[in-house]
Amino acid sequence: MTRALAGRAFVAVALFALGAVAALLVTGTGGGDRVRPAGKVEIGFAQDMIVHHGQAVTLAQAALGGGAGDAVSQLATGMQLAQLREIGRLEGFLALWDAPHIGEGRPMAWMNAEGHAHGGTATMPGLATTDEVNALGELEGAALETRFLQLMIRHHQGGLLMADAVVGLTTDPDVRAFAVRMATEQRQEAATMTGLLAALGAEPLPSPT
């Protein structure tokens, strides 16, 4: 219990620090005449992706706290740092746009409004359920590694749906560049995780597509 609380505290502090630094860097790199107004697509994507990335950090923390092997632990550490860095960048975007970090409407509305609804639902694609996250925290060893990889592959697949969608919808070159880079990294990570999962004799979960 202490380990779990400590992990949550670390994540909370890291999120706050990265978000604050990103906001300062973004707002301090140019005058107000360089700020492009953001629409519902850009704001909604950033808000939803912060939540989506937040769960990825939680999954990675569970793998690290449960004693996963070296290969999975190194992967989880890298993904946790990458997701925290990207959360900071997204929070920087929202600060620049003077938009809240948490959306008030339903998730994925920025896609639904443009006719790109995912399955007609208001849930973010690829997210693990609360029960799945809690169950992951109870596992150890190979069982932990297998379930972590399965959940994170599906999580990445959902994130890729969101990233690919915003690339086609946004008119903001910075948001598009962010999404393209994120998608490239996550496709590489998903391929690595699929290989590790195969080595454990397991298969990925059904894709959220």
DSSP SS3 for 170? coil
Closest by CA position to 138, among listed 204, 76, 199, 65: 65
pLDDT value at residue 33:
47
Residue 125 maps to a domain: yes
Residue 189 maps to a domain: yes
Which residues span the domain enclosing 174? 2-199
Residue 38 maps to a domain: yes
Residue 155 maps to a domain: yes
For residues 135 and 131, give the distance between their C-alpha atoms in angstroms, rounded to a whole number: 6
pLDDT value at residue 113:
53
Residue 207 maps to a domain: no
pLDDT value at residue 30:
43
Percent of the chain with pLDDT strictly greater than 70: 78
pLDDT at residue 44 greater than cutoff 60: yes
Residue 84 maps to a domain: yes
**Which conformational region is residue 36 in: left (phi greater than 0), alpha (psi within -120 to 50 degrees), or beta?**
beta
Residue 208 maps to a domain: no
- Given pLDDT bands bounded at 50, 70 and 90, which one contains residue 76? very high
DSSP string, 74-128: HHHHHHHHHHHHHHHHHHHHHHHTT--SS-SS-TTHHHHTTT--STT-SSPTTPP
- Given pLDDT bands bounded at 50, 70 and 90, which one contains residue 42? very high
pLDDT value at residue 111:
87
- Given pLDDT bands bounded at 50, 70 and 90, which one contains residue 37? confident
Residue 98 maps to a domain: yes
pTM above 0.85, yes or no: no
pLDDT at residue 151 greater than cutoff 90: yes
Split into its structural domains, the chain has a count of 1
- Given pLDDT bands bounded at 50, 70 and 90, which one contains residue 15? low
Beta strands in the chain (DSSP E): none
Inter-residue contact 157 to 166 (CB < 8 Å): no
Inter-residue contact 15 to 101 (CB < 8 Å): no
Q: Which residue has the tokens 């697949």?
A: 157
pLDDT value at residue 123:
82
pLDDT at residue 31 greater than cutoff 90: no
Mean pLDDT of 181-199: 98
Mean pLDDT of 73-88: 97
Mean pLDDT of 153-161: 98
Buried b (16+ CB within 10 A) or exposed e, 119-145: eeeeebbbbbeeeeeeebbebeeeebb
Please report, for the domain that includes residue 70, its CATH number: 1.20.1260.10
